[in-house]
Structure 1
């Protein structure tokens, strides 16, 4: 029972084809016109993307649906097999073209001794043939998709043991499937190396544990976790399909890479690393394989403009540094590379393609950065900059610079935030009413719900969905039970989703429409018991401290010692002034209580709030004043479930 409770900490979402959960509306007259206008401004088609995305194809899965051992489907490689012909009116024509390329799946040859498995998850797994086994880079998001990818490799190329796994960065879709490809006992025995950039574990804990629950809920919108692939539903994520279901796992790295130019010989293959921290992830690196003349750009270069601040939430990234690292990559690897690939999207072939791809994206991020700062220094706010800033034709007409994932709109706001924060210096925005109060006052000022509805309908008839959404969002926040307002807001969001070139903008609009129509359903989460179990204890205790409710604690002070018997770790816990501090390797000389046992039981105590008596029966030992332990547990917020986004 305890194991089942621990597993309740979370699992991922899946892109599996099936019937739509609600009857979506067709494209409006305004949306049809907007799609035609978008089609008229697309770059010229030169056939390179169609060539590169299919080049080197070897084989794919015989059974398109990947399942868990229990038979639960977690991924369908054919979820987009219905795509054919011209783009429907409900999909932006640029996004339709893009998803037509991203939907390709299987094992592809990259260069001599290198392959990629693409389309079996949101990310790609890169495979290098070592002297005695495989070197795997970025083992997908979940155990089952990674295992399926490795089976495809072994069945097609011949079975070999995995000698090393490399995590390019600290996002779950680049490490979460590790237990599907290696056994941790082999790692502990030194038979398998786990290689990652410096500070990988700190940043993994920060994103997936400290802020993981909020990010997971928002990620459900970003990746369309509750949407079904289809002309009126999910159309990928801009850099891949969706996010695979199943268990996210983690095995801690055994080797840290810390500087650019560092080389390692792994199973007889020389690898050279470029450190790119604070770009797409706080801990990230690129990998160059000299023997194959192949550069893996991880995620700082893909088939789309990326996010400076991803809508799911993350630390704001440094666009200036991002452009600088791309320029460094051109200089370090451009003339030495005949193939370039990333952990999303498709590769490119030829030395000039490598240099053009890196330099083209370098210019895109630098233009975004410099022009945002220029306009910011003229006194423009982030909203004003987002409305004005557009890339020049030389940048915009390169397909890989288009905003299928990140957009100029929300990236310019992120750059503004990086330098100046959320406040735009307008005092009216310094201390506004919270959304529900403001919405109630605004609806009253307009003249009541009926007038808001009338104005919103007029805006929708004119194709001004931005204004209709603004009005109707206020109505829904003022009165969430207003069924007409909810329905009309869902319709308005839906049309904006249809028109969006960015796959994640589409997902966010359509997810909000779905929630308004059907209510909140289960959410994607990047947390799992395996991931949490791999995170250092100190970081887990810091995460626990963020759930301390000062009202529940009152003015109590607590002094506890924790002994994690299975790890030979000790922690000193001090609670006072409504703050919890933990210090590893220390102990109170006269603690109120000392709690001892395996760390898994502490996870159940602090994360799942399983009653202390039940945990004592399972092996947890408490010496001293047990009420202090119960007081601390009671003062912790429970692990939250999905929360509202489209309504209060």
Structure 2
């Protein structure tokens, strides 16, 4: 039994999982015309972002590939070097520009002698602040290997002093997973180096996407382009950054937790004002201001992209209202004094006037989306109608940092509708729709058969009506999943939609789907999906919630039993109860009439979760003992489902 958090799976898929993908289609004339409209609309002659992204460059790696000790690749800083010159016809020119910016990598000076960044070594950015005695590290990337490479580069080219503090801005793995690449286990255990994180950081980090992790992970293989090659006809990155590192993921408990705004702490002699900002970009997040340097660490509440109010891999919807209010608060607190704003992704912004305008327009983008969705909804417009008509005003939309490289106006608008109204439009015809395969069959029947669908769809594809062609062909594919002609034509439509997409995740979804329609689902990697640190840090209640989800509920109907568990090494006990086809649990107490009592150390449970052994083998080896009816224990284990990762997405 393996626990597979989304983020770890996505990371492990990122390198060595990209078989060659042929350019099945050149860009159509419709795609060329679509992309030209964007060239005409946006100020591509403004090179400010390129100047800022290159400003302060000190050095980068001599060897582009960061490796594990065994020589296996973790991350290649040169993997997006193909994105040079003008955008090809197969790429949205705005996304191509963003990919060029994200590909700029190395060690950069942000504030002279005081603040430095490593960019382009991972999906995220790692920041260093010079303290009295060493380096305060902010957001140590996804993996130990990339974080260690960045720290080494800093120590070689700036100052070889130790790490004296760590700040983790939020609970997404690309901002903490490399912590033990900059601190040793002994240093973490000693607890003498402060590790600052937001309230609920540890709990949110280890539980993120666990309960629905298998599906989130599979969808993430589309979102981050892990199953397609990187290139002009493939993935251009995520828009938020390049891609994730496939290294060793770790985590450490914070020694200082931020739960109030503002909270002032002194870390290695540096006074820092922390702002607690949960529930917008991440469930646990903070920003902070360093008065001495007039610098704001904006985390991911402010970025050089329109961020996600809903992420396409699947997650809880985020509030644009809350997001805008956090940025508004920052403007009110620091707008008069700030001189540099830097984040967990992308490049900094310098100069008070530039920073404040940037903050204000990012704030107003989220405010506009949230409030306009609700205005239109209160006129009776539905989710799809709102998403089709909502547009940012030019004053916001023509700023590159508000473009939809990661989020999009369309799916963020849908997210805000969903936040308030859920999935139902109010139209009862949409209340109990048929599932996709049945709906597809009836659609094809009504149209007059597969040949009619193909004929009309081919005409629409030729005319550039890709959205409707994709809708119609999707019905046909779900009605006739063996119809390769239909799948190929649908792939053609999705490919052109990918070439037009300004959002990195949208492009990756379209092109990943096209690949699987043409070639079928390929298991492109066998990742080591469970990080030992993450598994060992999993709270007992979350682990038991996960077991409850894995229970095959129809098979459990008619079963009625309790099993007690004791974990001597951590002095914990709990009872699981099966009845009415569900599993409930009680921590800290036992059932008097339990069918059996299982004694298992938490360390042994972790070993089972990491796939190092099984419950059956542990019982046979005497590492787990059962007092009572072992048959009931075996029956319970037999009721737990295992989830297949490579399930179909674009076919039934």
CA contact (8 A) 2:574 2:590 kept: yes
- Tell me how far apart the structure 2 counterparts of residues 195 and 585 of structure 1 sit (CA, whole Å): 31
1:638 counterpart (634, 642, 647): 642
- The residue aligned with 1:409 is 410
- The residue aligned with 2:495 is 494
Matched, 1:574 2:577: yes
**1:19/1:587 CA distance change after superposition, 3 Å:** closer
- The residue aligned with 2:70 is 70
- The residue aligned with 2:45 is 45
Q: CA deviation at 1:57?
A: 0.8
Matched, 1:623 2:627: yes
Q: CA deviation at 1:53?
A: 0.7
Q: CA deviation at 1:588?
A: 2.7
- Tell me how far apart the structure 1 counterparts of residues 381 and 508 of structure 2 sit (CA, whole Å): 29
Between 343-352 and 251-260, report the one with greater CA deviation: 251-260
Q: CA deviation at 1:417?
A: 0.3
**1:576/1:603 CA distance change after superposition, 3 Å:** farther
**1:498/1:606 CA distance change after superposition, 3 Å:** same
**1:497/1:468 CA distance change after superposition, 3 Å:** same
Provide the alpha-carbon RMSD of the alignment.
2.3
Matched, 1:328 2:332: no
- Tell me how far apart the structure 2 counterparts of residues 60 and 575 of structure 1 sit (CA, whole Å): 57
1:594 counterpart (570, 593, 597): 597
Say which SS state the counterpart of residue 638 (structure 1) adopts: coil
Q: Deviations over 1:200-235 (max 9, x none)?
A: 233224423222222111111111111221100110
- The residue aligned with 1:267 is 268
CA contact (8 A) 2:207 2:538 kept: no
Listed as ranges, the matches of 1:308-323 within 5 Å are 308-323=309-324
**1:209/1:4 CA distance change after superposition, 3 Å:** closer
Between 392-401 and 16-25, report the one with greater CA deviation: 16-25
Say which SS state the counterpart of residue 590 (structure 2) adopts: coil
Q: Deviations over 1:82-107 (max 9, x none)?
A: 22221100001111111111110011
CA contact (8 A) 2:15 2:73 kept: no
Q: Deviations over 1:548-606 (max 9, x none)?
A: 11123232223222222332322232222222223332223343222223324324557
Listed as ranges, the matches of 1:325-364 within 5 Å are 325-364=326-365
How many residue pairs were aligned? Answer: 645
Between 238-247 and 412-421, report the one with greater CA deviation: 238-247
Listed as ranges, the matches of 1:105-116 within 5 Å are 105-112=105-112, 113-116=114-117
- The residue aligned with 2:586 is 583
CA contact (8 A) 2:19 2:227 kept: no
**1:619/1:160 CA distance change after superposition, 3 Å:** farther
CA contact (8 A) 1:216 1:525 kept: no
Q: Deviations over 1:304-330 (max 9, x none)?
A: 111111111111111111111111011
Q: Which runs of 5+ in 2 are unaligned?
A: none
- Tell me how far apart the structure 2 counterparts of residues 285 and 580 of structure 1 sit (CA, whole Å): 36
**1:275/1:602 CA distance change after superposition, 3 Å:** same
CA contact (8 A) 1:12 1:248 kept: no
Q: CA deviation at 1:162?
A: 2.2
- Tell me how far apart the structure 2 counterparts of residues 624 and 607 of structure 1 sit (CA, whole Å): 27
CA contact (8 A) 1:16 1:228 kept: no
CA contact (8 A) 2:368 2:392 kept: yes
**1:635/1:254 CA distance change after superposition, 3 Å:** farther
CA contact (8 A) 1:486 1:517 kept: yes
Q: CA deviation at 1:69?
A: 1.8
- The residue aligned with 2:165 is 164
Q: CA deviation at 1:191?
A: 2.5
- The residue aligned with 2:137 is 136
Q: Deviations over 1:536-559 (max 9, x none)?
A: 122111122111111232322232
- The residue aligned with 2:149 is 148
CA contact (8 A) 2:191 2:255 kept: no
CA contact (8 A) 2:2 2:608 kept: no
- The residue aligned with 1:208 is 209
**1:544/1:408 CA distance change after superposition, 3 Å:** same
Say which SS state the counterpart of residue 226 (structure 1) adopts: coil
Matched, 1:14 2:14: yes
- The residue aligned with 1:31 is 31
Say which SS state the counterpart of residue 265 (structure 2) adopts: strand
CA contact (8 A) 1:339 1:351 kept: yes
Q: CA deviation at 1:474?
A: 0.8
- Tell me how far apart the structure 1 counterparts of residues 202 and 580 of structure 2 sit (CA, whole Å): 30
Q: Which runs of 5+ in 1 are unaligned?
A: none
Listed as ranges, the matches of 1:233-248 within 5 Å are 233-248=234-249
CA contact (8 A) 1:16 1:76 kept: no
Say which SS state the counterpart of residue 570 (structure 2) adopts: coil
Say which SS state the counterpart of residue 454 (structure 1) adopts: helix
Matched, 1:545 2:552: no
